[in-house]
């Protein structure tokens, strides 16, 4: 089946077209060639059967793909989600409806496949709001001057030793730790086979003057158990004061706070370095509370993953709730009209939720975009209401419904896609 649009056709991609299709995507993103290691991995991870090509005649002028993800939602459940990626339109064909046609076909396909959610990271966030995507997770970037902050180490609960290790050699053990931590935080991707390669992708052509990827593991000296790990790269530099290297931290993970703190102590004390930076921490990362002066982290909050409810009742019934709620939501959804209407949401902590159509008067009115923003528990409906994006129709309803949506930990996307 193909989707028709004036002068354009959206159709499934054929496997033998992947290189041409991907080349058009690179042109849409400025034309910079990717290192072969990156291109090879993206070819491996692409689900060709879920990829779409926008064509003018036989020529591919636009692209979009979906990845079969599993995303953690509040309460610890893991839901199927379409990871929307590789979306681009050639500069000669923008503002001619190609993107809308791609999004129309893709969301119809996602709905038909029974996936309740679609998620994406946006090169230009304003584009996707009109298709019902709301900002569901945020991340913090930090940049610290070595010697200006100290890390408070919580009471040590055992012994550990730090050991430099080959990131690839330790990948399996680190993935086991990642999997244990994944279901604790909403927004986290439960990695499918093959995706474990992305966090250690280290193409020389993309290092930007930094060293090859390095890794330090924290282990119990008696049992050899992996307690935590960090991956990072170092860029050597010098100025009139001496060494001025930069440490770029890719990830730090540990189950116990004292191990997490010890890994950051290590990263903040590497010789011949002046600055430590990290570009993807959860908005409530423990580091913000472990350092002696948070100002010297220069934290900056930025958008990360956008969430789109494709099957509204199923998505709401699958997640956990922070407190009891019984409310009628009047939802608008211009792009996926099957979600539009009044829905009675009934839920309580630890109990199955219900979300069914109703003719009862609405308590809150909002667009599906705002529902996507609040879905993972990181954005309060009350904050959206303060911005005029959610309307309270029954006095008192906003506070209780907003509190029910919140999650204990801020949602976080550990890596892009």
Q: Of the residues 232, 375, 405, 417, which is catalytic?
A: 417
User: In Å, how far are 151, 159, 202, 229, 230 from 217, measured between CA atoms?
Assistant: 18, 13, 18, 4, 7
Distance CA 303, CA 241 (A): 36
- Give, in degrees to the nearest 5, the angle at Cα 362 between 356 and 365: 100
* Helix, coil or strand: residue 20: helix
**Which of 22, 69, 128, 375 is an active site residue?**
128
Active site residue 178: no
Distances (CA, A) of 388 to 58, 106, 126, 231, 394: 46, 30, 17, 42, 16
**330/47 Cα distance (integer angstroms):** 36
Task: Please report the sign of the dihedral spanned by the C-alpha atoms of residue 358, residue 362, residue 367, residue 368.
Answer: negative
Q: Give the bridge partners for 72, in sequence order.
A: 78
C-alpha separations of 414 from 111, 185, 258, 298, 411 in Å: 26, 10, 21, 20, 10
**Cα(first)–Cα(last) distance of the chain, in Å?**
27
Beta partners for residue 117, in sequence order: 81, 309
Phi, psi of 33 (to 5 degrees): -75, 140
Active site residue 128: yes
- What is the dihedral angle through the alpha carbons of 409, 305, 113, 390, rounded to the nearest 10 degrees? 80
Contact (CB, 8 A) for 414 and 253: no
Give me the numbers of helices (H) and strands (E) for the chain, helices first please: 11, 22
> Which among 414, 177, 125 is positioned nearest to 281, based on CA atoms?
414
Long-range contact pairs involving 29-36 (C-beta distance under 8 Å, separation at least 24) = 29/88, 29/123, 34/203, 34/205, 34/206, 35/203, 35/204, 35/205, 35/206, 36/203
Q: Which residues are catalytic?
A: 128, 417
């Amino acid at each position: 089946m193909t989707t028709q649009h004036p002068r354009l056709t959206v159709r499934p991609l054929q496997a033998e077209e992947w290189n041409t299709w991907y080349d058009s995507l690179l042109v849409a993103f400025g034309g910079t060639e990717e290192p072969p290691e990156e291109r090879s991995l993206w070819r491996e991870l692409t689900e060709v059967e879920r990829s779409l090509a926008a064509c003018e005649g036989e020529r591919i002028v636009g692209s979009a793909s979906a990845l079969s993800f599993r995303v953690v939602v509040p309460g610890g459940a893991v839901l199927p989600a379409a990871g929307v990626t590789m979306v681009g339109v050639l500069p000669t064909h923008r503002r001619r409806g190609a993107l809308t046609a791609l999004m129309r076909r893709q969301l119809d396909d996602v709905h038909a496949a029974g996936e309740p959610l679609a998620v994406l990271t946006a090169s230009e966030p304003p584009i996707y709001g009109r298709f019902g995507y709301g900002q569901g997770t945020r991340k913090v970037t930090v940049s610290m001057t070595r010697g200006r902050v100290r890390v408070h180490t919580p009471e040590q609960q055992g012994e550990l030793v730090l050991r430099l290790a080959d990131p690839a050699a330790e990948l399996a053990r680190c993935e086991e730790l990642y999997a244990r931590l994944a279901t604790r935080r909403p927004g986290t991707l439960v990695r499918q086979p093959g995706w474990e390669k992305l966090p250690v992708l280290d193409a020389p052509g993309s290092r930007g003057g930094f060293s090859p990827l390095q890794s330090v593991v924290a282990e119990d000296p008696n049992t050899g158990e992996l307690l935590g790990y960090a991956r990072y790269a170092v860029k050597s530099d010098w100025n009139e004061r001496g060494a001025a290297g930069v440490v770029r931290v890719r990830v730090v993970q540990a189950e116990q706070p004292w191990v997490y703190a010890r890994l950051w102590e290590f990263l903040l004390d590497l010789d011949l370095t002046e600055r430590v930076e990290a570009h993807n921490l959860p908005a409530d990362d423990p580091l913000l509370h472990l350092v002696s002066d948070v100002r010297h982290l220069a934290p900056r909050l930025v958008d990360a993953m956008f969430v789109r409810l494709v099957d509204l009742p199923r998505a709401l019934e699958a997640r956990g709730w922070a407190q009891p709620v019984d409310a009628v939501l009047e939802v608008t959804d211009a792009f996926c009209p099957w979600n539009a209407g009044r829905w009675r949401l009934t839920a309580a902590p630890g109990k199955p939720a219900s979300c069914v159509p109703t003719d009862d008067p609405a308590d809150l009115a909002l667009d599906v975009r705002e529902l996507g923003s609040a879905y993972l528990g990181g954005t309060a409906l009350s904050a959206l209401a303060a911005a005029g994006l959610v309307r309270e129709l029954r006095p008192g309803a906003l506070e209780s419904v907003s509190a029910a949506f919140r999650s204990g930990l801020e949602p976080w996307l550990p890596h892009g896609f």
